[in-house]
A and B are shown apart, each in its own frame.
Chain A
Amino acid sequence: KNEVEQSPQNLTAQEGEFITINCSYSVGISALHWLQQHPGGGIVSLFMLSSGKKKHGRLIATINIQEKHSSLHITASHPRDSAVYICAVRSYNTDKLIFGTGTRLQVFP
């Protein structure tokens, strides 16, 4: 079992829908990152969380340390949100980043 699990693996939505991507992890962490990767493109950091909730525009990230779970929400989704979203955790013990395999999101007009 991977130390970082994301669900769903693939997600399709109609423009305007509310999107939720989940990340569960099994190790103690000092921080959790949400990253975005467009097709053929580089990787961009969206959020870094150690507790609570953060919001940037239409994106909201939450983390529950006790339940070892984080969610990334996209409100009023748009075709330009189509990308792979990657969850990564920084292990408290090793200080290394452990990456999930990503969630591929496609938003259709």
Chain B
Amino acid sequence: NAGVTQTPKFQVLKTGQSMTLQCAQDMNHEYMSWYRQDPGMGLRLIHYSVGAGITDQGEVPNGYNVSRSTTEDFPLRLLSAAPSQTSVYFCASKTQGWTGELFFGEGSRLTVL
């Protein structure tokens, strides 16, 4: 049972480059989300999705795009990376409703030079 799988685990980009962080879950969860974790701050929500074809912005969406074409996959795209996007990124999923337990991926450490 893989749970939530994130790739890549590490990535170094130059300013202006684009990349996609991949997230896949095999638990048939409707809800998927992306967070960034920065030193001294709590996890902050970037984008989330409550089902295939439905996405919405979180707290810090600028500079990031998402899509949800299937229940399993929720990729996060950086179209033009900036040094301010240097962070650790976590994908998480849960069943719908407030009772769902959260499942996190192992994180992706991104450095933008």
Please provide the chain A residues from 71 to 92 with a CB less than 8 Å away from any CB of chain B in the complex: 86, 88, 90
Q: How many A-B residue pairs have CB under 8 A?
A: 52
Q: Are B41 and A101 in contact (CB under 8 A)?
A: yes
Residue of B nearest to A30 (CB): B98
Footprint of A on B, CB under 8 Å? 35, 40-45, 58-59, 90, 92, 98-99, 101-107
Q: Are B107 and A99 in contact (CB under 8 A)?
A: no
Q: Are B40 and A101 in contact (CB under 8 A)?
A: yes
Q: Which residues of A contact B41 (CB under 8 A)?
A: 101
How many of A's residues come within 8 Å of B, CB to CB?
A: 24
Q: Which residues of A contact B99 (CB under 8 A)?
A: 31, 48, 50
> What's the nearest-Cβ distance from chain B to residue A25, in Å?
12
Other than the given A42-B106, A48-B101, 9 more pairs (CB < 8 A) read A42-B104, A43-B92, A43-B104, A43-B107, A50-B99, A88-B43, A96-B45, A97-B45, A97-B102
Say yes or no: A31-B40 contact (C-beta < 8 A), given A45-B103, A96-B45, A97-B45: no
Contact of A45 among B102, B106, B107 (CB under 8 A): B102
| Distance, CA A86 to CA B105, complexed state (A) | 16
| Interface flag for A27 (CB, 8 Å) | no
Q: Are B42 and A100 in contact (CB under 8 A)?
A: yes
Q: List 9 A-B contacts (CB under 8 A).
A: A41-B107, A42-B105, A43-B90, A45-B102, A48-B102, A86-B42, A95-B98, A99-B35, A99-B42
Q: Are B102 and A33 in contact (CB under 8 A)?
A: yes
> What's the nearest-Cβ distance from chain B to residue A56, in Å?
12
Q: Which residues of A contact B44 (CB under 8 A)?
A: 99
Say yes or no: A35-B102 contact (C-beta < 8 A), given A97-B45, A101-B42, A102-B42: yes
